[in-house]
Amino acid sequence: MTTSNDFLHRFQLERAGVRGAIVRLDQAWRTVRETGGYDGATASLLGRALAASALFTSALKFEGRLSIHLRGSGALRLLFADCTHDGLVRGIARVDPSAASAGARLETGARLAITIENAATEARYQGLVPVESDDLARAFEGYFERSEQLPTRLVLGAGEARCGGVMLQQIATAGGAPLGDADGWNRAQHLLATLTDRELLELPPEQVLLRLFHEEGVRLQPAQPLAFGCTCSHERVAGMLRSLGREENEAVLAEQGSVQITCEFCGRRYVFDDDDIAAVFAADAPEESSPTQH
């Protein structure tokens, strides 16, 4: 039985020939929401994206990271969430203040990118598609259909305290034929569509899957714990400041007395004074040549 409320379970529906994953985020979601001060429609979209990023890592076969990056031109300008192979999640949303009164919502025409990074090989794969639905789950399904040619169905939900999701994907044989019985995929989709937000966010995962798929031969794998995790560090921030150039940093120092950076993901604050900025650019200083002896 699952004892934590931040988890990822992989599962198979053996009769239907379907693989799946179920995710719930409790403490991790509250950390993300409270750090960014998200509420209303913005929080709902970000919670769903965060759950989706964890669901999508269920298919990773290597150490790395999967990121969801959605950019729009309306009130919702940016939706970003990612999850590592070992279950560390984070996310942010940005809303245009001038359009915020219209409410943050997903708009058709936005651009959706999913990026997979392999930590061992440093290889990076990205799929990019236009959003063709105002529902986030349907937008993700469209991505898998267009970019991966992989039949996928999702249910996503988010509340103040929790977010979560269930994903189903059709398994094919080496020859491309469905693995389960002829009606398995169609049957699994219809069963998933009966899942309510309350069941998704409140019931134990074993009970959710038993309620939905008790005749499909559910094989549930052990839970993988999930948690909030941020990759910011003094070294990473220093590298970002170095990329801005010495002149811009020194201008901020002259005006404000220090350069201050706050991480959007975790809220950690980094302060660089005169000596710190000098150290950032010390490596760029030309080495003094030793005097030539005659």
- The domain that holds 32 is classified in CATH as 3.55.30.10
Q: What is the model's pLDDT at position 292?
A: 45
Q: What is the pLDDT of residue 290?
A: 44
Domain stops at, among 228, 244, 263: 228
Tell me what pLDDT residue 176 has.
60
Q: What is the dihedral of CA 9, 128, 109, 196, to 10 degrees?
A: -10
Q: Are residues 145 and 263 in the same domain?
A: no
Residue 65 covered by a domain: yes
74 and 124 co-located in one domain: yes
Residue 130 lies in a domain: yes
Is 2 within the bounds of a domain?
no
Which pLDDT score, from 0 to 100, does residue 148 have? 85
> Does residue 92 fall inside a structural domain?
yes
Instruction: With respect to residue 293, please indicate whether it lies within any of the assigned structural domains.
Output: no
Residue numbers in the chain where pLDDT is lower than 50: 1-2, 288-294
Which residues pair with residue 79 across a beta bridge? 70, 93
Instruction: Based on the fold, state whether residues 223 and 240 are members of the same structural domain.
Output: no
In a domain, 57, yes or no: yes
List b or e across 240-279, with b for residues whose CB sees 16 or more CB atoms inside 10 angstroms: ebeeeeeeebeebbeeeeebebebbbbeeebebeeebbee
Structural domain boundaries enclosing 264: 234-284
pLDDT of residue 102: 58
Work out whether strand 163-170 and strand 18-25 pair parallel, antiparallel, or are unpaired. Answer: antiparallel
Same domain, 256 and 222: no
In a domain, 289, yes or no: no
Distance between CA atoms of 248 and 223, rounded to whole angstroms?
48
3-state helix, strand, coil in the chain (%, to 5): 35, 30, 35
Q: Do residues 260 and 160 share a domain?
A: no
CB atoms within 10 A of CB 286: 5
Report if residue 158 sits inside a domain. yes
In whole angstroms, give the CA distance from residue 249 to residue 100. Answer: 32
Same-domain pairing of 113 and 217: yes
Identify the domain boundary among 211, 228, 245.
228
3-state secondary structure of 117: strand
Q: Mark whether 147 and 116 lie in a shared domain.
A: yes
Tokens of 287: 């080495």
Question: Do 279 and 165 share a structural domain?
Answer: no
CATH of the domain at 238: 3.90.1280.10
128/146 same-domain check: yes
Which residue, among 193, 139, 156, 144, has the nearest Cα to 48 in the 3D structure? 156
Note whether 22 and 13 are within 8 A (CB). no
Q: What is the dihedral of CA 77, 125, 165, 210, to 10 degrees?
A: 170
- The position carrying tokens 């020194």 is 250
One domain, residues 244 and 224? no
Instruction: Indicate whether 214 and 244 sit together in one domain.
Output: no
Is 132 found in the same domain as 273?
no
Q: What is the pLDDT of residue 169?
A: 95
pLDDT at 103: 65
User: What ranges in the chain are assigned the alpha helix state H?
Assistant: 27-36, 40-56, 136-143, 184-192, 197-202, 205-213, 234-244, 246-256, 274-280
Total domain count for the chain? 2
Residue ending a domain, choose from 205, 228, 251: 228
